[in-house]
Structure formats: structure tokens, C-alpha cells
Amino acid sequence: MPEPRAYYCPMAVVVATPPSRIARDAVGIGIAVGVYGVSFGVLAVAAGLSPAQACVMSMLTFTGASQFAFVGVLAGGGGALAAMAPAVMLAVRNAAYGLSLASILPRRLRDRALLAQLVIDESTAMARAQDEPRAARRALLVTGVSVWLGWNAGTFAGALLGGGLGDPRSLGLDAMFPAAFLALLAPQLRRPGAPAAGAAGALVAIALVPVAPAGVPVIAALSGVAAGVLVARRVKR
Amino acid sequence: MSWAVLLALCATSYALKAVGPLLAGGRRLAPQVRRTLDLIPVALLAALILVQTVSTGHRLVIDARIPALAVAAVLVWRRAPFLVVVLAAAGTAAGLRALA
């Protein structure tokens, strides 16, 4: 079973597998994501979303890092629109996943439209690990459904739990956000240029905090991508 | 929190996922483009970590979140499960605040 902590990208631990293994792995990933969903539910409510809003968000948005970023900016005092921008940018990678999966999807438009909602880190990783299109399609569907169920069950439980918790600060809930982001970031730091992109982005953001409207510093951190690209290019040569 | 913004986020994230499956039949992204896209979450997450650890509103603040993040960093490095990392960070901050 893949380690639960490989939330962002379990690609390293997923190998080509027979159907029964695909299902078993998918259930394991779903449970791991469910646990993670509980913390999202708690934090969403602490950030001011109603439990219903937290649940609708998990059902329809269904992309973990974006949802964490959204409620994180809200909790930090940013407005809803300021929270949108980093959330959307974090979801851009799903477009890249969707493009890479387009060739293995069924032909019927309705099926493609439904499967599109399941395009996320885990399902893409499982699909890519398969040798042939039918197995890949199956892996995408089974993993996607399993993660969707786990994520939403977790959010629901967390949202109910979170409402009765009291002052978020005295419980240390504000410290949960950076810890969650760090756990998401760590496995990605091995990419070429990633440390430079992260460091530059973080520095730009913190320099802007005293002067820019809430939410803007994190968007400005996108400029760190340029630093990462430059470093990656130099290392290659 | 307004429902309109929330639903706009839902629609946008679905649209991003659906671009490939609905419009681009099996086209692939150039490796250069994909590598650049891969760095977007890295820059954003690093910024979120720093901003949410050392600032409150527009002020730079040093408080219990810093030791909490340090504990989280050690646990991430030791490959602890996600929930353990997050709960340990919350516990550290809560504990330090209770003592203060």
C-alpha cells in the first residue's frame, strides 16, 4: 500500500498492477486521503466556512491543495477573491494531468465529462503507472472514485467535529496550515529548480506582506517559478 | 463566506480538469512546459508556509507557529504520516500557548 504521506504524488510508489491490486491500492489511497480530508474539514470550519460549504467544496472542487490554500488565505484574513487566486493556480496542474490522460479516456462525451472530475494527483499517478489504455482507464476510475469518497467522508466528519472545537488559536489550528503545506511541498522539492522556485517565491511573498493586500503576496510568489526555471536550465548545461 | 465565490472556484477547478478530456484529444504537453507547470505549486506552497507561519494580517509576527513548523519539518523529514505531522504542529502551538 502506498504510504499515506505521499498525498501529493504517490507516483514513486505505484507500479504496474493487475486489476485486483489496482482496486486494493485504490482503497488504501482513498482511506489515506480520507484522514487528510478530516483535517481539511476542521480547518475549513475554523476559517469561517459553514459545514455545508466545506462539504460542497470537497464534492465539486475536489482538489486538495487548492482547497487548503483557499481556506488558508481566508483564515489569514484575506477576502474570498484573494483566496481564489492561489487556489486556482494550484489547480492548474490538473489541466496538465487532463491533457496527459486525454488519449486513454473513453470516446463518449458524457463519460469523458464525468471522468474529468476525477482527474487529480492520485488517480493520474495510478493511471500513468499502467501499461495499456484499458487498465489505465480502470485505474483512473477506481482510484478517482475511492479518493472522492474518502475525501468527502473525511471533510464531512471534520466539518462536524470542527464546529464544536472552540477557539482555533488556542488549539493551535493556525499552525496546522503551514504544517500541512510543508507535508505537501516536501515530496516535490526533488524536481529540478524546485528549491530555488520555493525559496524565491517565499521571499517575494513575505516581503510583500506588510504592504500588499491579503492574498496578493502568495500570488506574487508565482514569480519564484522563473527563478526555478533559470536554475534548472543552468544545472542542465 | 459567499456561496458565489465558492461555486466559482468549483466551476474553475472543473474547467481546468476538463480542458484535456473534452477539448484536446490526446495532445501532449512539451516537457519544458510541464516542468514549468510543476514548479507552480512549489512556489505557491513555499510562500503559503512562510506567510502563514510568520505573519498575521499585515504584521510580521514571531509566535508559537515557528516551533510548531519546526516540529512538523522534523516529522516530514522522518516520513511521518500526514495526520501525525499536522496534529503534532497543532499540539506544539497549543501547548506553548497554554504555557505562556
Instruction: Mark yes or no for CB contact A228/B79 under 8 Å.
Output: no
Tell me if A70 sits within 8 A of B45, measured CB to CB: no
Report pLDDT digits (tens) over A6-61.
Answer: 334 444 344 445 778 788 888 878 887 887 888 899 989 988 999 999 999 999 99
Residue B30 has pLDDT above 60, yes or no: yes
Give kind and range of the element (H or E) at residue B94: helix B82-99
Chains A and B: how many Cβ contacts under 8 Å?
Answer: 327
Please report, for chain A, the start and end positions of each structural domain, with discontinuous segments joined by +.
10-184, 189-237
Residue B13 has pLDDT above 90, yes or no: yes
Q: Of A179, A224, A229, which has the smallest distance from its Cβ to B68's Cβ?
A: A179
On chain A, the residues whose CB falls within 8 A of the CB of B99 are: none
pLDDT interval class at A2 (50, 70, 90): very low
On chain B, the residues whose CB falls within 8 A of the CB of A89 are: 40, 44
On chain B, the residues whose CB falls within 8 A of the CB of A74 are: 1
What was the pLDDT predicted at B60?
Answer: 93
CA B99 to chain CA centroid, Å, is 28
Q: What is the ipTM of this complex?
A: 0.88
Report pLDDT digits (tens) over A49-98.
Answer: 999 999 999 999 999 889 998 998 888 888 888 889 889 988 887 887 88
State which residues form the domain around B42. 31-99
Chain B interface test: which of A182, A204, A229, A235 (most B C-beta within 10 Å): A182
pTM: 0.75
The number of domains in chain B is 1
Task: Give CA angle at A70 (A146, B85), nearest 5°.
Answer: 65
The one-letter amino acid at A145: V
| Domain assignment present for B66 | yes
| Domain assignment present for B83 | yes
| Domain assignment present for B1 | no
Find the residue in A nearest to B16 (Cα).
Answer: A95
